[in-house]
Amino acid sequence: MTKDINKEAFDDSTKLKLEIFGNCFREWFPVFKNNLFIKKVFVYDFFAGSGMDSAGNFGSPLILLNESKGKNRAYCQNAKIPISFIFNESKKRKADKLKATTQQFVSACEIENCCGKCEYTVTIRNQDFKNDFYNPEIQNILRNENYGKFILLDQYGFKEINKKVFLDLVSLPKTDFIFFISSSFIKRFKEEPTTKAYIDTGKINFDDSNPNECHRQIGNYFRSLIPNDKEYYLHHFSIKKGSNYYGLIFGTNHTLGMEKFLKVCWAKDEFSGESNDNINNDHDPESLFYKPEKSIKREEVRKLIEDKILTQEIPNNLFGLKYTLRQGCMPVLFTEVVKKLEKNKKIGRYGYLNFRSTNIHKAPEYGLTIL
């Protein structure tokens, strides 16, 4: 039987996972809340737990609520549109505890800030995930183009997010999601029919000589499921705990969502933006030669971008900026390559010249020519 995560104090890897959830939501929330084309915001935590660990550390639902206040309550005082939090937990005992914990959190916040009734709506549900996710009422919300949705899926193991659920998540409009997955277990039990029933392990190239790449390979598997004609962005972050690898998979159909998530990941791992475990073996934090600017990942992607510009596979900045995001790097890397090639008189640029590398959905387009 799986150990109940809320019964003990969260360990360091759980704290890292929760921190990434929180930081990701911190980036996401103001963007969706202030988007003029979004009429309502829904935040789903489908595997919410009971709210805290045994030491009183916040679990994901309280982290989400806390972040949603904003600095000096800038967000909740000025909500403008309806904002709903929906927390689901399948165990009745834990769902009841979560209800009490969130009520306490909201009441304490109302008293501390003398603001009367909280602007936000918090609903606790006690359902099995798939019943809840495929509940027609919830599907209507999730499929509504006018609503912004953030979906957190902190499953135990790997069995809840199968191919169908993943593709359904990918198909949702104005929705970003992040899920947790036990990658080492998929690798260890890859031949078991019970594993294959959820994940097509035949399509995953596990590299036994590099066990620390296990979650990267799981990320590549999910990436391979996305239809070729769909503009979609997926990133993974690998978390080592003991000798096991777990990880997060984040999905968005907007470049800004990807920029924001990559920012969170590169702040946690300045060498590769994808791991708490030196995934490319390119640094020893204890040594004198700890130089984040010498990142194997960035150098590899820099080289790929340069080659693709010089072979004209990258014909313009928009293509190049998105390509860089897809490689898991911040778009500024593309701009650095363009500047260097231009300085060395290898390429020219035409059109609306700019070096915009953030909010790239607003970047004007320029073309690239080979000199």
Q: Which residues bind ligand SAM (CB under 6 A)?
A: 5-6, 18, 47-49, 59-60, 88-91, 94, 128-129, 154, 156, 160
Going through 190-293 in order, the beta strands assigned E by DSSP cover: 233-241, 244-252
Taking CA 22 as the corner, what is the angle to CA 19 and CA 23, rounded to the nearest 5 degrees?
85
Comparing CB distances to ligand SAM, the nearer of 79 and 165 is 165
Residue nearest to ligand SAM (CB): 59
SS (H, E, C) 186-204: HHHCCCCHHHHCCCCHHHC
CB of 160 to ligand SAM, least distance (A): 6
CB closer to ligand SAM out of 101 and 317: 101
Least CB distance to ligand SAM at residue 246 (A) = 10
Q: How far is the CB of 82 from ligand SAM (least distance, A)?
A: 24
Measured from the CB atom, the residue of 125 and 149 that comes closer to ligand SAM is 125
Closest by Cα among 170, 137, 174 to 153: 170
Residue with tokens 């008293």: 111
CB nearer to ligand SAM: give 87 or 271.
87
Q: How far is the CB of 100 from ligand SAM (least distance, A)?
A: 14
E strands of 97-219, at which residues?
121-125, 147-153, 175-181
| Residue 154 or 306 with smaller CB distance to ligand SAM | 154
In angstroms, the first-to-last Cα distance of the chain is: 64
**Cα Rg of the chain, angstroms:** 22
3-state secondary structure of 140: helix
Chain centroid to Cα 276, Å, comes to 15
C-beta of 131: minimal distance to ligand SAM in Å? 8
Residue 15 near residue 57 (C-beta atoms within 8 A)? yes
Contact 330, 299 (CB under 8 A): no
* Element holding 103 (H helix, E strand): helix 92-113
Q: Which is nearer to ligand SAM, 59 or 273 (CB)?
A: 59
Q: Which is nearer to ligand SAM, 147 or 158 (CB)?
A: 158
Nearest distance, CB of residue 250 and ligand SAM, angstroms = 15
Closest distance of CB 159 from ligand SAM, Å = 9
